[in-house]
Amino acid sequence: MTTDTLIRWSGRAGLLGGILLALNFLFLPGGADPAPATVQLHTPYAAEHSLAVFGLVLILFGLTGIYTVQAQAVGRLGLLGYVLSFVACALLVGVSYSDAYVYPTVAAAAPHLFDLAGALVNGPIVLAYALPSVGLLLGALLLGVATLRAQKLSRAATLCFLLGAVLLNLPPQPQGPVPLLVIDLGAVVWAVGLGWLGLTLERASKQAAVPAVALAEEQAHPYLSQASRPSRFQKESEKKLCSKVKRS
């Protein structure tokens, strides 16, 4: 499998991952994560968070494609942004996995842990949730700015990616001041931007492949490529002919 094929498939993975993540937030029951025990036990909480698990896994491949297709152009800034975004998304896979398959069982046995003053929504657990969000915010900002500077992918999609990353990672209620509706909107905007970037990866990979193919052909047939170039004598003859035409 060639690099171009991998990039195209990573773009499709990013598109599908963005759609799944957007659906996760659109159908999010109970607002905050982790939700109160009653929400976890009496709504399709596990199924809804499974969308986030699979979506974030696919987004890991999408981020890799976004970086790979413009690796040289985005430089160290883009590399740092990609690494931070990748690690943060990987950590969020674990968070969503716990939401989907661990917390409902805990909620059935000890529902008080998910009350407003419960141990699983206060204290160190809040920091554990906040660190991946901060990493994703910083990584998405760095990767987005580097992508804008590289001018290889859609500018509108990149701006959507940046705006969504900011809104998604604001401190939500009840721990923070930002309404959950804003967080949900940010998640949808970020997912749309990510999916949009995924759609542009195939075109960008084809454009990047043209000089690489030409270089490979030249390396494979150096004498042919040299023979196809105009010689110094031919260039001088062309100049003389052009000067005669201008005089006449």
Cα gap 226→236, rounded to integer Å: 18
Read off the pLDDT of residues 76-98 as tens digits, 9 standing for 90 and up: 999 999 999 999 999 999 999 99
Average pLDDT, the chain: 81
Distance of CA 155 to the CA centre of its chain: 14
Radius of gyration, CA atoms only, the chain: 25
| pLDDT band, residue 30 (cuts 50/70/90) | low
Predicted pLDDT of residue 81: 96
156 vs 184, higher pLDDT: 156
Distance of CA 8 to the CA centre of its chain: 14
- What single DSSP character describes residue 169? T
Predicted pLDDT of residue 220: 55
Does residue 69 surpass a pLDDT of 70? Answer: yes
Residue with tokens 């990013």: 14
Percent of the chain with pLDDT over 70: 79
| pLDDT band, residue 161 (cuts 50/70/90) | very high
CB-based contact 68:7 (threshold 8 Å): yes
CB-based contact 100:49 (threshold 8 Å): yes
Predicted pLDDT of residue 74: 93
Largest CA distance in the chain: 98
Does residue 23 surpass a pLDDT of 80? Answer: yes
Cα gap 78→16, rounded to integer Å: 23
The candidate with the shortest Cα–Cα distance to 132, out of 107, 185, 182, 96, is 96
Cα gap 55→75, rounded to integer Å: 27
Token pair for 168:
């998604």
Read off the pLDDT of residues 100-158 as tens digits, 9 standing for 90 and up: 999 999 999 999 888 877 888 777 887 888 899 899 999 999 999 999 999 989 999 99
